[in-house]
Amino acid sequence: GAGVSQSPSNKVTEKGKDVELRCDPISGHTALYWYRQSLGQGLEFLIYFQGNSAPDKSGLPSDRFSAERTGGSVSTLTIQRTQQEDSAVYLCASSLARGGKISSTGELFFGEGSRLTVL
Amino acid sequence: AQSVAQPEDQVNVAEGNPLTVKCTYSVSGNPYLFWYVQYPNRGLQFLLKYITGDNLVKGSYGFEAEFNKSQTSFHLKKPSALVSDSALYFCAVRPDNYGQNFVFGPGTRLSVLP
C-alpha cells in the first residue's frame, strides 16, 4: 500500500507476556518514529530511526522496550513482560529524508496504530 | 529545549462559526510547524505546515494557520466549522537543524455542535 502500515491493529495479551508490534513505512522513507498514545491523550515519543540506526531512543520507558529496524524498512517494537500500564495505542510514522538528514519539508506520515491491551 | 503548548484542552464551537485552536512553541533556531488531526480510532493526519515564506498557510479541509514569529504562535483557524471537524488536533514543531525530533503539543479536542 501507499501508506504506513501497522500490525496488528489490535492486540490483547496477558500481563507478563511479550508482544511484537510491526511497522512498514512508506517506501523510500528512511526516517521512522514510534510514539505511544494513551487513551485520548497526547503523543509520547519512544524512538526514532534514521535508516537502521536509532540516534534517539531516549523515549523508551524501560529496558522492557526495544525496537529494531532492518533493511532500512520494516521496524519492530518489542515489549517484554508486559504490564498493564503498557496498554496504549502505539503509533508509527515515517518521513522522507535525503543524505541521512530529514528533508526540510518532511512532515510525518502516520499509520493507524496498534492498540495494545494488557489484562 | 523544544516545547509546544496548546493552552486549551477543549474547544467548543457552533457549526458555521469560525474556529481557532491555539498553539505556541519554543524552539532554538527557525521552526518548522505542523498541524495534525486525529479522528476517533485513527492515526494522525497531516493538515498543513509552515516552513518559510507567507505567514498564512492554507491546508486540507479548509483549514489555515498563521505563523506569528513575535508571539511564537501558530494558531489553526477555519472560517466556518463543520460537525465533521470534531476531532483531536495536535500542533508539532521541528527545529530547522536536521536530525532533530518532532515535538508534539498535548492536543486540543474540538467539538463542533450542530
* Per-residue pLDDT tens digits for B10-54: 999 999 999 999 999 998 778 889 999 999 888 899 999 998 888
Residue whose C-alpha cell reads 540516534 in the numeric block: A55
How far is the C-alpha of B81 from the C-alpha of B20, rounded, in Å?
10
Mean pLDDT for chain B overall: 91
For the cut 50, the answer to whether the pLDDT of residue A100 exceeds it is no
**Is the model's pLDDT at B57 over the cut of 70?**
yes
Across the interface, which of B43, B101, B104 has its CB nearest the CB of A112?
B43
Q: Taking CA atoms, what residue in B is nearest to A88?
A: B41
From the number of C-beta atoms within 10 Å of its C-beta (0-12, 13-18, 19+), residue B110 rates as buried
Q: What percent of chain A has pLDDT over 90?
A: 63
- In sequence order, the 6+-apart residues with CB closer than 8 A to the CB of B56 are B64, B65, B66, B67
B34/A42 Cβ within 8 A: no
- Decide if A102 touches B, using CB distance below 8 A: yes
Flag whether pLDDT at B92 surpasses 70.
yes
Asked if the C-beta of A55 comes within 8 angstroms of chain B's C-beta atoms, the answer is yes
Cβ pair A56:B101 closer than 8 A: yes
Q: Which residues of B touch A42 (CB under 8 A)?
A: 90, 104-107
Dist CA A39 CA A93 (whole Å): 18
Mutation for A interface: B44, B51, B88, B97, most A CBs within 10 A = B44
Put simply, the answer to whether A41 touches B107 (Cβ < 8 Å) is: yes
- Residues A39-65: tens digit of each pLDDT: 777 889 899 898 888 888 889 999 999
Cβ contacts of B95 within 8 Å, gap of 6 or more? B2, B27, B28, B29, B30, B31, B32
Q: Which long-range contacts (CB under 8 A, 24 or more apart) does A85-89 make?
A: A85/A118, A86/A116, A86/A118, A87/A38, A87/A116, A87/A117, A87/A118, A88/A36, A88/A37, A88/A38, A88/A39, A88/A115, A88/A116, A89/A36, A89/A37, A89/A38, A89/A39, A89/A113, A89/A114, A89/A115, A89/A116
Task: Please state, rounded to an integer, the average pLDDT across all residues of chain A.
Answer: 89
Q: Which pLDDT does position A72 carry in this prediction?
A: 82
Interface test with B, best of A57, A107, A109, A114 (most B CBs within 10 A): A107
Interface test with B, best of A23, A38, A43 (most B CBs within 10 A): A43
In this structure, is the dihedral angle defined by the CA atoms of residues A61, A11, A41 and B94, taken in order, positive or negative? positive
- Using a CB-CB cut-off of 8 Å, the residues of chain A touching B49 are 105, 107
Question: Which residues from chain B sit within 8 angstroms of residue A35, using beta carbons?
Answer: 104
- The string of pLDDT tens digits covering residues A76-89 is 999 999 999 999 99
From B32, B101, B106, residue closest to A45, measured CB to CB: B101
